[in-house]
Amino acid sequence: VMFMMQKQSSEPIVYDDEQKGLNQQIVIYFSHVVAENTPKGLAAQKFAQLVEEKTNGRVKVEVFPNGSLYSDEEEIDALLRGDVQMIAPSVSKVTQLIPEWQVLDLPFIFENYGDVEKVFTGEVGKNLLAMLERKGIKGLALWGNGFKQMTSNRHPLVEPSDFSSLKFRVMPSEVIERQFQLLGAKPIVVPFNRVYESLEKHEFDGQENTISNIYSKSFYQFQPYLTISNHGYLGYAVMVNKVFWDHLPKDIQEKMMEAMQETTAWNLTQSKEQNEEELAQMKQNPRMHIYELTEKERETWKQKFMPLYQEFEREFGSGLLRQIKKAE
């Protein structure tokens, strides 16, 4: 079996089973769509550094942020083709490959960061990652960004009726689309790379995202109304092309897994802090109107979203939902 990897200079290194690149450097392209100074951007850099240290430079992870190699619409196909070895798309974007993963997009499935950590790093996370294998993907870990908040250029979003007939940018995920339909809004799928530009052109009225994404990509400039709703969680599936992974020497795989575990533990704490710090920054901005939902208002939203749980169970059964509730 031949395997080809692109080096930065773009001349390929070719390995076969005998050589397995024992003396050659293995270069891994890691492509993602967010800014460098974000939970995912920083975790990618940390992983690259740890891998380089642990393998004494035998493996080099080259990180490409900001969608500079591939947009989120393209990155999964690029991984499957082997044009890039590693990506970390949001869980929502993976639902197109593995529809059961929609469970993680159900609004209010996680109450707090502790719940997220138990699910992401425990048995459920392992089972979810194992589902990727049937698609030719090796899932290494689930990383976190943070809870999603709602923003708008129109008015404060407090009652479900405030969403009525507003156009919302969404990630490609059926549960998320249904969530906005239940609110009477119009969901429109837009790749992350185009969100800033579409907000600037007023192509839609609102969007949901983490504080870190809203802050690092300056979405707030065009979306002065921010509601702290924590209604959904934005997590990432860190994945590698399976053919590429299976051809790595065993000791390299082990070192990479070690680096991944350390990075994941760090990321789950760092992401929480970063979102908190950047919210504090945005609170200083006199042009922002930030509203935090009360418990009672959160309850109203939860009731509104109940049908999504029933729809999910009808389609996929209650197994995954029960596993998650048990882990939390």
Footprint of ligand LMR (CB under 6 A): 33-34, 40, 72, 90, 145, 171, 192, 209, 213, 234
Please state the closest distance from residue 107 (CB atom) to ligand LMR, in A.
Answer: 16
Of 85, 40, 104, 52, the residue nearest 266 (C-alpha): 40
In eight-state DSSP terms, residue 2 is -
Residue 3 or 204 having the CB closest to ligand LMR: 204
Please state the closest distance from residue 215 (CB atom) to ligand LMR, in A.
Answer: 12
C-alpha pair distances (Å), 41 with each of 125, 157, 274? 21, 29, 12
Of 160, 280, 285, the residue nearest 220 (C-alpha): 285
Residue 125 or 144 having the CB closest to ligand LMR: 144
Q: d(Cα 122, Cα 322) in Å, to the nearest integer?
A: 14
Q: How many CB atoms lie within 10 A of CB 16?
A: 11
Residue 73 or 83 having the CB closest to ligand LMR: 73
Q: Which residue is nearest to ligand LMR (CB)?
A: 90
Give the contacts of 100 (CB within 8 A, at least 6 positions apart). Answer: 128, 131, 316, 320
Please state the closest distance from residue 247 (CB atom) to ligand LMR, in A.
Answer: 28
Residue 55 or 271 having the CB closest to ligand LMR: 271
- Please count the CA atoms within 13 angstroms of the CA of 43 that sit on its side-chain side: 31
Residue 94 or 256 having the CB closest to ligand LMR: 94
Please state the closest distance from residue 190 (CB atom) to ligand LMR, in A.
Answer: 8
Please state the closest distance from residue 33 (CB atom) to ligand LMR, in A.
Answer: 5
**Angle, in degrees to the nearest 10, between helices 250-283 and 39-54:** 150
Can you name the residues that pair with 142 across neighbouring β-strands? 237
Residue 55 or 151 having the CB closest to ligand LMR: 151
Residue 117 or 208 having the CB closest to ligand LMR: 208
Q: Where are the alpha helices (DSSP H) in 247-294?
A: 250-283
Residue 33 or 157 having the CB closest to ligand LMR: 33
Please state the closest distance from residue 317 (CB atom) to ligand LMR, in A.
Answer: 27
Of 56, 270, 315, the residue nearest 175 (C-alpha): 315
Q: d(Cα 123, Cα 119) in Å, to the nearest integer?
A: 7
Q: d(Cα 54, Cα 213) in Å, to the nearest integer?
A: 31
**Angle, in degrees to the nearest 10, between helices 123-130 and 319-327:** 150
Q: d(Cα 120, Cα 235) in Å, to the nearest integer?
A: 9
